A and B are shown apart, each in its own frame.
Chain A
Amino acid sequence: ETGVTQSPTHLIKTRGQQVTLRCSSQSGHNTVSWYQQALGQGPQFIFQYYREEENGRGNFPPRFSGLQFPNYSSELNVNALELDDSALYLCASRRTAQTGELFFGEGSRLTVL
């Protein structure tokens, strides 16, 4: 158990819709990052939040946005869904003072039809 939980575990949306994925981290985990893992691929970094502010972003368009809350929970929002957004979305968090290890959740599997 990593102490990172994600919801929902599975969901299906249609093209053009919007989706919100949620993550709950361990107490004290000030840094949270989100990854997209397409089928058969390694995870790709979407963005990172530290103390409720975005402080790093990968090659993802602005329709991917996020929020981090003081209670160590966070959200990933995706607008105008496209078929290629179908993937497993992973949340990972850690204490800033701790070097190296990220604790991952089990992911949310999004299917866009």
Chain B
Amino acid sequence: AQTVTQSQPEMSVQEAETVTLSCTYDTSESDYYLFWYKQPPSRQMILVIRQEAYKQQNATENRFSVNFQKAAKSFSLKISDSQLGDAAMYFCAYRSGTQGGSEKLVFGKGTKLTVNP
């Protein structure tokens, strides 16, 4: 079974600074997707960024970028120019790319990010 580990329960960053959230995963599959989701106090999960395992290029979305190390099974999220609105729980998630299977996401336990003004 696949597992996702987030080793940082909490992180803090100063506004406008850069922070990196860590995620490692375990799988024997070669085809899969990785995601970072943000969950603010409103509780709604919002997709931040996604990465297809077959793509070597790291995904970027504006101030958010990932460092995807497939061999090391590592998938970290870098937030640049942090803003107060970035404060939230961040979850790393894995999804199998196997066709015809369920599309379940396997989540880590999350990292609580605090942004200090």
Query: Which residues of A does B touch, CB under 8 Å?
Result: 2, 31, 33, 35, 40-45, 48, 55-58, 88, 90, 92, 99-102, 104-107, 109
Contact = CB atoms under 8 A, between A and B. Distances in A.
Contacts of A109: 43
A43 B107 contact: yes
Given A42-B108, A101-B50, A56 B45 contact: no
Closest 5 CB pairs of A and B: A56-B102, A42-B107, A104-B45, A45-B104, A106-B44
Contacts of B109: 40-42
B35 interface: yes
A109 B44 CA distance: 12
Given A56-B102, A90-B45, 9 more contacts: A33-B103, A35-B105, A40-B110, A45-B102, A48-B102, A100-B52, A101-B50, A105-B44, A106-B42
Nearest to B47: A101
Contacts, number: 63
A59 B108 CA distance: 16
A104 B44 contact: yes
- Interface size, B (range): 20 to 34
Contact of A33 (B35, B46, B47, B104): B104
B90 to A, nearest CB: 10
A33 B106 CA distance: 13
Contacts of B42: 106
Contact of B50 (A48, A100, A107): A100
B25 interface: no
B101 interface: yes
